Amino acid sequence: MPTEAWLNAALLFAVFAGHCELMAAWCNRFHGLKVRHRVTAKVRAVHDLLVFGAIPGLLFGFGLFGYRLLRGGEWSAVPWGWKAYFALCGLGVISLLVCTARNLFRPLPTGVRREGRRIDVTAELGFKPIGTGRRRHQAAAPWNGQFTLEAVELELTLPDLPPGWDGATIGHVSDSHFQGEVGLPFFERAFTELAAWRCDLYVFTGDLLDKPARIDWIAPTFGQLTATNPAFGCRFILGNHDWHYDVAPLRAAMTAAGWGDVSGRVETLLRGGDPLALAGDESPWLNGPPDWSQAPPDAFRLLLAHTPDLYPRAKREGVNLMLAGHNHGGQITLPLIGPVYAPSQHGVRHAGGTYREGALLMHVSRGLSGRQPLRYGAVPEVTRITLRRPDDRANGA
């Protein structure tokens, strides 16, 4: 092809990349709303049509035929309406480059130490624990990381942590999405890992199941966990996928398994005589924000939230540490670019990992599974968090 044709090919590719970024941004933010699955499924179908339909549209409508930009045609022949949209796609390219740079160069926040250990659950079990759900073909996809579990250990240095809480451990798990495509043995192995850590406190941040019949999986998984400090125990909230069902049986089953419901509530826990206020927020789907006035004014504030989108309110309310899930690490991440999809009003900004937002430190778990059991570059996660005081760390504690 002549040089001009190659240049036009590059421009059309940039238009396609920017178009995909715009479609992803729109889809992400819509999925972050309080919307039923039947609506989000239709939106995702429109998104897929617009993304995949753009390939033949650009190639044949603008490149090879139509305006023939790859065969000597001129951009001057392209209508202004299309030129305006292509310019908008240029902004999409800029957004994509910014997201890529943020993914490549985002360091761990100050005061965070992280270690991760990968567990090949298939190798340990001797079989791939694929269940019988209708999406089991996705679970069986080649190179799917769904059955690789990462045991993440975080040490968080928190300026306002009371002395009595230095060294306390929290086991964090999120997004189990019990439905059947990922078999029960996978989840049992994940909870065995959590149980082996023997944490002072265990927490779950929502999206328990996607099929009510799997409620019987709660006992052999969540029921494994017993906190080393019985006064703290295990605490949970529910998420947007649980919102689609009758949540009363879910809460009852979790309570029967030894878990306390903190949704919309504040509890004060004491360690070494120092208070920690633990609260849960299931907004915007179920029980709303907790009333922090119920906590001692000097208490360290720990919030369990399903979506990290609640971080602005958490900052305003003086929350010190927020634990969330919901975004699954993007579930699929691309080389260099990173995550593309996350059901969030902030796009992929908080897809998964540990973030500092002002005085608030937030960890977003990648969770254990999802409605679509596909994981590429964002394997399932269980987390042990150790709380530390700055002074003690400085002294080598």
pLDDT class of 395 with cuts at 50, 70, 90: very low
Q: Which is nearest to 323 in space by CA: 240, 235, 243?
A: 235
Question: What's the rounded Cα separation, in Å, for the pair 25 and 20?
Answer: 8
| Backbone Cα Rg of the chain | 23
| Buried/exposed 272-297: b ≥16 CB within 10 Å, e otherwise | eebbbbbbbbbbebbbebbebeebee
Question: What's the rounded Cα separation, in Å, for the pair 40 and 46?
Answer: 10
Are 171 and 203 spatial neighbours (Cβ–Cβ below 8 Å)?
yes
Count Cβ atoms within 10 A of the Cβ of residue 332 and give its class: 0-12 exposed, 13-18 middle, 19 or more buried.
middle
pLDDT class of 219 with cuts at 50, 70, 90: very high
Are 89 and 73 spatial neighbours (Cβ–Cβ below 8 Å)?
no
Question: Which amino acid appears at position 187 of this protein?
Answer: F
Report CA torsion sign: 285, 286, 291, 297. Answer: negative
Per-domain boundaries in the chain? 3-105, 112-394
pLDDT class of 1 with cuts at 50, 70, 90: low
pLDDT class of 76 with cuts at 50, 70, 90: very high
**For a pLDDT cut of 70, what percent of the chain falls above it?**
98
User: Can you name the residues that pair with 334 across neighbouring β-strands?
Assistant: 338
| Contact residues for 334 (Cβ-Cβ < 8 A; gap 6+) | 340, 377
Q: What pLDDT is recorded for position 370?
A: 95
pLDDT of 397 over the 80 cut:
no
- What is the average per-residue pLDDT within 315-329? 97
| pLDDT tens by residue, 260-292 | 999 999 999 999 999 999 999 999 999 989 999
Question: What's the rounded Cα separation, in Å, for the pair 106 and 351?
Answer: 13
* CA 70 remoteness from chain centre: 41
Packing angle, helices 3-31 and 80-105, rounded to 10 = 70
- What is the average per-residue pLDDT within 226-242? 94
What number of other Cβ atoms are within 10 A of residue 154's Cβ?
19
Question: What's the rounded Cα separation, in Å, for the pair 329 and 82?
Answer: 34
Strand arrangement of the beta sheet that strand 234-237 belongs to:
112-120, 148-157, 381-388, 169-173, 201-205, 234-237, 259-261
pLDDT of 313 over the 50 cut:
yes
- What is the average per-residue pLDDT within 128-153? 94
> Distances in Å between the alpha carbon of 204 and those of 20, 128, 235, 279, 285?
34, 25, 6, 12, 16
Question: What's the rounded Cα separation, in Å, for the pair 386 and 278?
Answer: 16
Phi and psi at residue 173, in whole multiples of 5°?
-140, 150
Count Cβ atoms within 10 A of the Cβ of residue 376 and give its class: 0-12 exposed, 13-18 middle, 19 or more buried.
middle
Query: Which pair of structure tokens corresponds to residue 281?
Result: 């927020």
What number of other Cβ atoms are within 10 A of residue 83's Cβ?
12
Packing angle, helices 37-56 and 3-31, rounded to 10 = 180
Query: Which pair of structure tokens corresponds to residue 349?
Result: 């900004």
- What is the average per-residue pLDDT within 165-192? 97
| Contact residues for 21 (Cβ-Cβ < 8 A; gap 6+) | 89, 92, 93, 95, 96, 99
CATH architecture, domain defined by 112-394? 4-Layer Sandwich (3.60)
Are 131 and 181 spatial neighbours (Cβ–Cβ below 8 Å)?
yes
pLDDT class of 110 with cuts at 50, 70, 90: very high
User: Can you name the residues that pair with 205 across neighbouring β-strands?
Assistant: 237
| pLDDT tens by residue, 332-363 | 999 989 999 999 999 999 999 999 999 999 99
Count Cβ atoms within 10 A of the Cβ of residue 364 and give its class: 0-12 exposed, 13-18 middle, 19 or more buried.
buried
Q: What pLDDT is recorded for position 102?
A: 87
Q: What pLDDT is recorded for position 103?
A: 86
